[in-house]
């Protein structure tokens, strides 16, 4: 077995270890369980988390050995490293503050993120000349670590909101909370769609005229939206005949729209089912009831502390190291590339967070909502900017 296979094997093991850890964290849910049973469950869950982290680390090192360069050079590798840092940050926070309920959110989110990352090509690719620099190691890893720590703030914020948003009646807050959960469910829906049709080797190819050239676009999911002005080539596959609007640019516009709509649809179905099972109750209301009591001051403090660590780290990795590398590679330290702009947006946003918190006393729920928005910005920068808007970073 080569390094590559070993790496894949350990990745699969990691995935299951985290799932098991999540299940044990799940045992802390509910009010009727005895507290000593709960603390046992927490110990087991943390053990699995730590073994899972060790396994992920092993997988990562094997991949590194195989590639000969640090695996942070494409979307799969970046998300992989990011999820690893997220777990690391959670473990550290757990040993400082000891709040197991955080694991109940952190672990499932890490699992979803790993699952999402695995949908991207996993081959080890060589470094193109612009990435051949030691700054790849320094810049990308610092940014990933910083984003992971900032995500801890979101996780703490989410926990805070689950416990502190008044669920006795529906409000804007409950709606937004449901929206977050819907987002998570839709991501899971995407993973389900992507991996099941992938396992079936589903393919539907369309041809399309683009700038006087014929291009093939291959869908790996049933085509709800075919590319604009295109024809189906593959026989015997489903085609709705609905075209992607012409103003959506690029050969893959239809593909992206199709994947998005399908994921949101299945996400909607799954979410609807959940609501049905709960007899119409909000999912967040159930979580509110099942989660153990928290000390709001401590969770609030974690939320802040994560940003107090993540913000300078992000400044260093995402702006300063990034500028130094850009200066070395292209002779300009700042070039308004979309990814650069969104790093600035992220930075400005957390600067706002800190100002509101430190000088205007935005604590608790207000702070928690900001932490949620911050995470949305980070995910937007990671996913949308890389996949939809092209630029220097569209590698990943």
The span from the CA of 95 to the CA of 158, in Å, is: 20
Q: How far is the CB of 103 from another protein (least distance, A)?
A: 19
Q: Which stretch binds another protein (CB under 8 A): 165-173, 185-193, 270-278, 297-305?
A: 297-305
Q: How far is the CB of 111 from another protein (least distance, A)?
A: 26
- Contact call for residue 364 and another protein (CB under 8 A): yes
State the DSSP code for 329: H
Binding-residue total with another protein (CB under 8 A) = 61
Q: Are 189 and 167 in contact (CB under 8 A)?
A: no
- Contact call for residue 249 and another protein (CB under 8 A): yes
Which among 264, 262, 228 is positioned nearest to 248, based on CA atoms?
A: 228
370 Cβ contact partners less than 8 Å away, ≥ 6 residues apart: 157, 352, 353, 356, 362
State the DSSP code for 129: G
- Contact call for residue 260 and another protein (CB under 8 A): no
Which among 318, 328, 314 is positioned nearest to 131, based on CA atoms?
A: 328
- Contact call for residue 9 and another protein (CB under 8 A): no
Q: Which of 215, 257, 261, 356 binds another protein (CB under 8 A)?
A: 356
The span from the CA of 356 to the CA of 152, in Å, is: 19
- Contact call for residue 320 and another protein (CB under 8 A): yes
- Contact call for residue 198 and another protein (CB under 8 A): no
The span from the CA of 317 to the CA of 339, in Å, is: 13
Burial of 24 (0-12, 13-18, 19+ CB in 10 A): buried
Alpha helices in 69-199, H assignment, sequence order: 75-97, 100-117, 135, 141-164, 172-199
Reduce the DSSP state of residue 396 to 3 states and report it: coil
Q: How far is the CB of 217 from another protein (least distance, A)?
A: 14
Q: Which residues pair with residue 207 across a beta bridge?
A: 216, 231
- Contact call for residue 236 and another protein (CB under 8 A): no
Q: How far is the CB of 157 from another protein (least distance, A)?
A: 14
- Contact call for residue 374 and another protein (CB under 8 A): no
Q: How far is the CB of 332 from another protein (least distance, A)?
A: 7
The Cα angle at residue 260 between residues 104 and 386, in degrees rounded to 5 = 80
- Contact call for residue 242 and another protein (CB under 8 A): no
Residues 78-107 that bind another protein (CB under 8 A): none
The span from the CA of 17 to the CA of 20, in Å, is: 5
Q: Which of 183, 222, 268, 391 binds another protein (CB under 8 A)?
A: 391
Q: Which of 385, 386, 393, 396 binds another protein (CB under 8 A)?
A: 385
- Contact call for residue 342 and another protein (CB under 8 A): yes
Q: Which of 133, 207, 265, 394 binds another protein (CB under 8 A)?
A: 133
Q: Which of 26, 261, 301, 387 binds another protein (CB under 8 A)?
A: 301
Residue 196 has which token pair?
Answer: 């099941």
- Contact call for residue 341 and another protein (CB under 8 A): yes
The Cα angle at residue 19 between residues 16 and 22, in degrees rounded to 5 = 155
Task: Between 261 and 298, name the residue whose CB sits nearer to another protein.
Answer: 298
- Contact call for residue 31 and another protein (CB under 8 A): no
**Chain residues in the site for another protein (CB under 8 A):** 4, 66-68, 121, 123-126, 128-130, 132-133, 135, 246-247, 249, 296-298, 300-301, 305, 308, 311-312, 315-316, 319-320, 323, 327-333, 336-338, 341-342, 344-345, 348-349, 351-352, 355-356, 358-360, 363-364, 385, 389-391
């Amino acid at each position: 077995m080569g390094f590559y296979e070993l790496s894949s094997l350990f990745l699969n093991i990691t995935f299951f270890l985290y799932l098991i850890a999540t299940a044990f964290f799940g045992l802390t849910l509910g009010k009727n369980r005895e507290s000593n049973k709960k603390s046992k469950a927490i110990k087991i869950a943390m053990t699995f988390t730590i073994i899972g982290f060790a396994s992920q680390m092993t997988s990562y090192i094997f991949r590194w050995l195989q590639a000969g360069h640090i695996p942070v050079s494409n979307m799969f590798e970046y998300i992989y490293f990011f999820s690893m840092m997220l777990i690391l940050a959670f473990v550290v926070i757990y040993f400082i503050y000891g709040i197991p309920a955080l694991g109940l959110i952190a672990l499932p989110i890490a699992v979803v993120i790993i699952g999402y990352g695995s949908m991207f090509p996993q081959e080890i690719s060589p470094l193109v000349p612009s990435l051949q620099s030691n700054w790849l190691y320094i810049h990308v890893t610092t940014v990933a670590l910083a984003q992971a720590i900032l995500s801890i703030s979101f996780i703490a914020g989410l926990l805070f909101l689950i416990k502190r948003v008044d669920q006795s009646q529906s409000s804007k807050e409950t709606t937004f909370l449901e929206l977050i959960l819907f987002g998570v469910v839709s991501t899971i829906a995407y993973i389900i769609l992507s991996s099941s049709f992938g396992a079936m080797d589903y393919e539907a190819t369309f041809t399309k005229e683009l700038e006087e050239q014929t291009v093939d676009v291959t869908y790996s999911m049933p085509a709800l939206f075919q590319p604009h002005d295109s024809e189906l080539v593959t026989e015997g596959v489903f085609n709705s005949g609905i075209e992607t609007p012409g103003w959506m640019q690029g050969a893959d516009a239809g593909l992206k729209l199709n994947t998005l709509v399908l994921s949101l649809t299945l996400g909607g179905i799954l979410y609807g089912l959940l609501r049905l099972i709960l007899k119409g109750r909000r999912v967040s209301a159930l979580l509110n009831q099942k989660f153990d009591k928290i000390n709001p001051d401590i969770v609030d403090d974690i939320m802040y502390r994560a940003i107090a660590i993540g913000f300078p780290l992000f400044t260093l990795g995402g702006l300063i190291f990034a500028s130094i590398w850009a200066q070395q590679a292209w002779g300009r330290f700042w070039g308004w590339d979309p990814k650069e702009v969104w790093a600035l947006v992220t930075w400005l946003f957390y600067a706002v967070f800190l100002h509101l918190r430190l000088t205007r006393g935005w604590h608790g729920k207000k702070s928690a909502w900001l932490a949620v928005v911050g995470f949305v910005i980070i995910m937007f920068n990671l996913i949308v900017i890389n996949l939809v808007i092209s630029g220097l970073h569209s590698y990943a």
